[in-house]
Structures are given as structure tokens and as C-alpha cells.
Amino acid sequence: MILFFAILTLCIIIESSLITFPFTLIITFLTATIWEERGELLAFVAGLILDLFTLRFLGIDSLFFLILVFLWKYYRKRIYPGSILYRLIFLILAASIYSFLFYREINFMKLVLVAVFGTFILFFVNRVFPRVWEKGKLSV
């Protein structure tokens, strides 16, 4: 949790001060899909902090992240949750909508970067916390 908030803070500062790239969305979404029991709380808090830094209406990013977590949880039952591909597709779609709504741009290169960054984060989590995925697997 401490690691999450440290990375999140760094991402928010970079996103609000330097570059129009949805770092916070990526981190929040991927973390929320891994720690599912705390997903809503993480999305809510991350959104609020991002709003404070970017001067958006307080709660607007939280709302977007919560919708994202809700949709993920809704569709998760139909797909294998350990598959990186599904998460990445979901993430790229979300990043496109987010970039259009908040940054008024849809940049193909940035979406490729979202995929690369998302894959890196997923592999990192898989290495550091290998047992996170095991919960979703069926065993006989």
C-alpha cells in the first residue's frame, strides 16, 4: 500500500506538471484490478488527489476511475482475470476515453506507450507479488 501511494504520488506530480499522459489511470486501474477488495477505495482516493493537483472539480477523476473499476468488476466474471491481454485492451480503451475527455487528444503513440507502460507494471507486479494471480485460477 505504501509502495502504491509512493508511485501514485510520483505519477500524479508528473501528470499534473509535465506531460499529458494518463499515468495515474494506469497505476490506479492496474492496482485496483489486483487488490480487488480495495479497488474502489484506491480509485476514489487516487482520483481525489489527482483532482487536487490538476485543479479539476474535486471528485471528477474519482468518478471516472470508479466507473472503470465497476466496469472491470462487471466484465471480469466472463474473462480469465490472470490474462494480461484483457487488462491491456481494457486499459487502452479507458486511456483513449480519458485522454479525449480530459486532455482533448487521442494520440496513437501515447496509446502504444500506455500498452508498454501497462505491460511493464503488470510484469513488475507479477514478479514482486507472484501469488496475486493465483486467486483467479481454477484448480482441480
Partner 1 sequence: MAKRNLIPWYFIAAIFLVILDYFGMLNGIKKPAELVIMPVQKIIYQTITSAKNIGNIYWQYPHLFQLTTEVEKQKRINEELMLRVRELTEENSKLRSQLEAPLPSSFKFIPSQVLGISRFMLLSVGESSGVKAGMAVVSDTVFLGKVVKTTSSRSLVMLPNDPEMKISAKTSRGTIGEVVGQFGGSILMTRILQKEPLFLDDQVITAGSDSLPPNLIIGKISHINSDDTAPYKQAKLTPLLDYQKETTVFIVTSL
Please report, as ranges, the residues that interact with partner 1 according to CB under 8 A.
13-20, 37, 40-41, 43-44, 47-48, 52-55, 57-60, 62-63, 66, 69-70, 73, 102-107
Dihedral over Cα of 19, 25, 30, 34: its sign: positive
Q: Which is nearer to partner 1, 105 or 120 (CB)?
A: 105
Grid coordinates representing 84 are 494480461
- Rounded distance between C-alpha atoms, residue 35 and residue 57, angstroms: 27
Q: How far is the CB of 127 from partner 1 (least distance, A)?
A: 28
Q: Which is nearer to partner 1, 104 or 127 (CB)?
A: 104
Q: Which is nearer to partner 1, 61 or 122 (CB)?
A: 61
DSSP string over 33-68: HHSGGGHHHHHHHHHHHHHHHHTPPTTHHHHHHHHH
Q: Which amino acid is at 117?
A: F
Q: How far is the CB of 105 from partner 1 (least distance, A)?
A: 6
Q: Which is nearer to partner 1, 90 or 102 (CB)?
A: 102
Q: How far is the CB of 47 from partner 1 (least distance, A)?
A: 7
Q: For cell 489511470, what's the residue?
A: 25
